[in-house]
């Protein structure tokens, strides 16, 4: 998710979730803000859902971790390194440059994949959508972020 959107919604979800959790927990102490015990318990559950949504916002925003934004930076770094190491091959041997970029990304922990539709449109070594992290957790988060790009 875009970090600006996450920054905007995080305080709102924290306030709503915190208020619902507080209201639900206070009902266990016979301080009732709701008409029935069922409403208080539903408020508690809804508050926990809001808190989970906030954590998801932090997890999937680029400000919460490197993930997709970091992958873009890593790809740019690899492109820069390969261009510096092989300046003449850029115009004469494009296949070699692509292989070097894929090798650089592999060393950084990314796997070449053509599953994403944006990669199928342009199968270039400089296309961020053609890579996924090798780690299962990072791969899941980046895959989720790529769905919204």
Q: Is the predicted pLDDT of residue 55 greater than 60, yes or no?
A: yes
Sign of CA dihedral 83, 89, 90, 93: negative
Q: Is the predicted pLDDT of residue 36 greater than 70, yes or no?
A: yes
Q: What is the pLDDT of residue 59?
A: 66
| Alpha helix stretches (DSSP H) within the chain | 3-26, 37-60, 67-85, 89-92, 94-107, 117-121, 136-146
Q: What is the pLDDT of residue 49?
A: 92
The mean predicted confidence, pLDDT, of the chain is 84
Q: What is the pLDDT of residue 45?
A: 93
CB 141 within 8 A of CB 67: yes
Q: Is the predicted pLDDT of residue 61 greater than 70, yes or no?
A: no
Q: Which of 68-72, 110-114, 129-133 has the lowest mean pLDDT?
A: 68-72
Q: What is the pLDDT of residue 6?
A: 63
Q: Which of 4-8, 21-25, 72-76, 97-101 has the lowest mean pLDDT?
A: 4-8
Q: Is the predicted pLDDT of residue 20 greater than 80, yes or no?
A: yes
Three-state secondary-structure class, residue 112: strand
């Amino acid at each position: 998710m875009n970090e600006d959107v996450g920054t905007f919604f995080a305080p709102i979800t924290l306030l709503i979730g915190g208020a619902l959790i507080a209201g639900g927990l206070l009902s266990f102490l016979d301080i009732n803000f709701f008409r029935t015990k069922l409403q208080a318990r539903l408020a508690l559950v809804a508050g926990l859902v809001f808190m989970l949504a906030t954590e998801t916002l932090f997890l999937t925003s680029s400000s919460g971790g490197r993930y997709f934004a970091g992958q873009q930076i890593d790809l740019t770094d690899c492109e820069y390194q390969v261009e510096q190491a092989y300046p003449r091959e850029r115009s004469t041997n494009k296949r070699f440059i692509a292989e070097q970029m894929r090798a650089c990304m592999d060393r950084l922990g990314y796997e070449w994949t053509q599953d994403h539709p944006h990669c199928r449109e342009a199968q270039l070594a400089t296309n961020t959508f053609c890579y996924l992290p090798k780690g299962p957790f990072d791969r899941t988060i980046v895959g989720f972020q790529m769905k919204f790009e």
